[in-house]
Amino acid sequence: MTDARHIIARRCALELSDGEVVNLGIGIPTLVGNYLPAGLTVILHTENGAFGFGPKPATRDADSDISNASGEPITMPPGAAIMDLAISLGAARNGYISTTVLGGLEVDQEGTLANWASRRNGKWWPGIGGAMDLCYGVPRVIAALQHIDKHGHSKVRKRTELPPTGWHRLWQRLLGRPASESERLCQGAPHPTAPPRPRERPTPFVLATLPAAGGRC
């Protein structure tokens, strides 16, 4: 596996505990449901209105009306539930979800996440979504993002320069590099040589080692 996004998603799945209710946000987090460890039972939530959904279906089995927060097809095993957006976001605000895994545009050393807006061609994009509700109402927030953007700029900053989604809310940041370097960064495997650095790294950070038996950091 060399796709950084999938490596990060697999690593996020190791942070989940049996019986948790877990929200998966847009981007990398939506892949986490495909990498749940064998024997782990969690209730997955998507902000657009589903609890208890399953992994991505086979292409011929996909239903375009049943999707996750990224608009990708999902499965609905027995016991899964669909509800309107008001109920779904109400659950996020009122403590019914124990962990959320969110994508990010930037994170900083103070545990602040920015993921709802970036400036493109003089306009702010994409706009406010459910991430603010999740940062407010969910006790454990994990950010899953690649270490650098497509221009080679670090997403890990001393202080975020983008409009924040939640201040001091991050429980853990799970980062990755493109291609072969990403697994070493996520899982703390030894580097045969020093890894390439982004054009800027405004704040230092420590690479966590993967604990024995695939437990949490």
> Hey, which residues are catalytic here?
47
Letter string b/e over residues 71-91, b meaning 16 or more CB atoms within 10 A of that residue's CB? eebbbbeeebebeeeeebbeb
Closest by CA position to 134, among listed 172, 170, 173:
170
Fill in the amino acid letter for 48: N
* Alpha-carbon separation of residue 95 from 84, 92, 104, 140, 173 (angstroms): 18, 6, 22, 11, 22
For residues 150 and 195, what is the distance between their CA atoms, to the nearest angstrom? Answer: 17
Q: Which residue has the tokens 């409009």?
A: 163
For residues 203 and 153, what is the distance between their CA atoms, to the nearest angstrom? Answer: 12
Q: Dihedral (C-alpha) 78, 84, 85, 90: value to the nearest 10 degrees?
A: -80
